[in-house]
A and B are shown apart, each in its own frame.
Chain A
Amino acid sequence: MSFAVTNLSAGYGDTRILWDVSLEVGDGEIVALIGSNGAGKSTLLGAISGLVDLWSGSVRFGERELAGLPPDQIVSAGVVQVPQGRRLFGSLTVRENLLMGAYLRTDSEVEADLEHVLGLLPRLRERYGYLAGRLSGGEQQMVAIARGLMARPKILLIDEMSLGLAPLLVDQLLEIMQQIHATGVAICMVEQDVQTALEFAQRAYVLETGRITLSGPAHALLDDPSVKKAYLGV
């Protein structure tokens, strides 16, 4: 199922943040959304997830229009966000955080999925009964990803996964993302770490002051002079 944002505009109060943003994530694709601080990346994810009011535009997932739906219906449709800054429930245990990820599910496979997620992120098994707020930054990011997976996403929106993490840890997490992708989940990753994002993704979009200014295959953007100059410092 392909995911398409078309001419989306949004903002807070009278301040417009996003201007006619359009982007697509194909079935099983990995797409990177890059841009500097304040470009509107997190606002875009918020708008997609139904947390920020849309001013205009559409968000389609397959045949379904998601624009204007409340957040819970967007999660049910399979569009799940792993938010910037992890946003874990700090005084709940790791297990409880993961169960919160499955909050909307009524099927009987939640326990089996817990096992699956713990298999993917074995460190969490050691931390299973710990309060999420007591974990290290890398472990917290693992919980955030695992919580997202517990919703059984069809497309995972990951906001600033690498922020504040050591390079080695980022590599580990990317490997895990690769495994998640291999199970058929489409991924849209929002990153300030442009190099990492472009090396990992198949396609990418550049968001600048609320507008998409550039898009194309990730490796092409990696070689693009304007991207190199603005984001890679070369």
Chain B
Amino acid sequence: MQLFLQNLVNGILSGGILALVALGFSLVYGIMNIINLAHGAYIMLGAYLAWQLFTSFHVDPMLSVPLAFVVLFAFGYVVQRTVINRVVRAPVLATFLLTFALSLVFVTIALFIWTGDTRGVQTSYAGANFTLAGVTVPWAKLLTLVVALVITGLLYLWLHRSKTGRAIRATSMDVGAAQMVGVRVAHVYGITYGLGAGLAGAAGALLTLSYPLTPTMGDPFLIKGFVVCVLGGLGSVEGALVGGLVYGIISSFATQFDVTILGQHLSGTGLQDVVALIVLLLVLIVRPRGLVGRATA
């Protein structure tokens, strides 16, 4: 029972950040039908921003989260308006290639600036944890979860209550009709992509609390974000949240497995993603729209 609870808590703790990673990716896909392969690079840029501020000015990464959001939002907006909007109506392969190219450029630039050395942020509370009912909870991870949930909630409210949020949802349903009521689609797409990049940047800044930094650190998160989106249901805030938590919990319990396949011994962390991906396949077979996704009309 103790082990079960500990695994559950670990899963939820790591699921929060996965949900945040998936959120921006899902938003960009859901609104513009762009599979944004540069998402991982924005996570990395947000992380290095937080690292740089921590190293140069001793700014706590938590304080860098809103800053990373704002900086990457602006950056993403400009990228969309100047580059991606040119091919946004093209077949999905065009944006696929373009965002992959952007990702390579950003990673290379990061290599020049910060080199390929592994970096880390050592906060005063890095190793601190507390124990509740026999379950150990690291403060940094709990803080990460709370911030991720708050950001997710704010985005949901903004999309559903604000005028611009409403315009974003309307544009995703019918671009032509949105233009007919006067929505400037290029601007709305810029905001959407900016939000995607900003959320990735915020996630990146949060990740510095518990993950090491390298210029390619975004890659595994890009893939996990993609999986989380599909698992929960592409294009919705709820889908990203549910998908993230489910993925986190599954991969946490997977660490308890211990198998030998074809003479290869696999255990613990090596199995996490394997089990999570198997679950994804099962979900796709049984419920292709995702756990909380809506069937497309």
Contact = CB atoms under 8 A, between A and B. Distances in A.
A87 B182 CA distance: 14
Contacts of A76: 182
B295 to A, nearest CB: 12
Interface centre among B173, B179, B180 (most CB of A within 10 A): B180
A87 B170 CA distance: 11
A92 B180 contact: no
Nearest to A97: B170
Interface string B244-265: 0000000000000000000000
A80 B179 CA distance: 11
Given A87-B174, A87-B177, A89-B174, A70 B184 contact: yes
A100 B167 contact: yes
A75 B182 contact: yes
Interface in A101-125: 101, 103-104
A151 interface: yes
Contacts of A71: 179-180, 182
B270 interface: no
Given A96-B166, A103-B163, A75 B173 contact: no
A100 B297 CA distance: 21
A88 B170 CA distance: 9
Nearest to B179: A71
B116 interface: no
B181 A103 contact: yes
A96 B163 CA distance: 9
A186 to B, nearest CB: 18
Contacts of B180: 49, 51, 71, 75, 80-81, 83, 87
A151 B184 contact: no
A204 interface: no
B170 A89 contact: yes
B142 interface: no
Interface string A50-76: 110000000000000000001110011
Contact of A103 (B173, B174, B182): B182
Contacts of A147: 181
8 contacts: A51-B176, A71-B179, A71-B180, A72-B182, A89-B169, A91-B173, A103-B181, A151-B181
A38 interface: no
B183 interface: yes
A81 B183 CA distance: 13
Interface string B145-162: 000000000000000000
A100 B184 contact: no
A83 B178 CA distance: 11
Interface of A: 49-51, 70-72, 75-76, 80-81, 83, 87-92, 96, 99-101, 103-104, 133, 147, 151
Contacts of B173: 89-92
Contacts of A91: 169, 173
A151 B178 CA distance: 13
Interface centre among A72, A88, A101, A104 (most CB of B within 10 A): A72
B179 to A, nearest CB: 4
A101 B176 contact: no
B171 to A, nearest CB: 9
A104 B180 CA distance: 11
A92 B169 contact: yes
B176 A100 contact: no
Contacts of B182: 71-72, 75-76, 103-104, 151
Given A72-B184, A90-B297, A133-B297, A100 B179 contact: no
Contacts of A87: 174, 176-177, 180
A101 B174 CA distance: 14
Contacts of A90: 173-174, 297
Nearest 4 pairs of A and B residues by beta carbon: A75-B182, A87-B177, A104-B182, A72-B182
Contacts of A83: 176-177, 180
A231 to B, nearest CB: 27
A70 B183 CA distance: 10
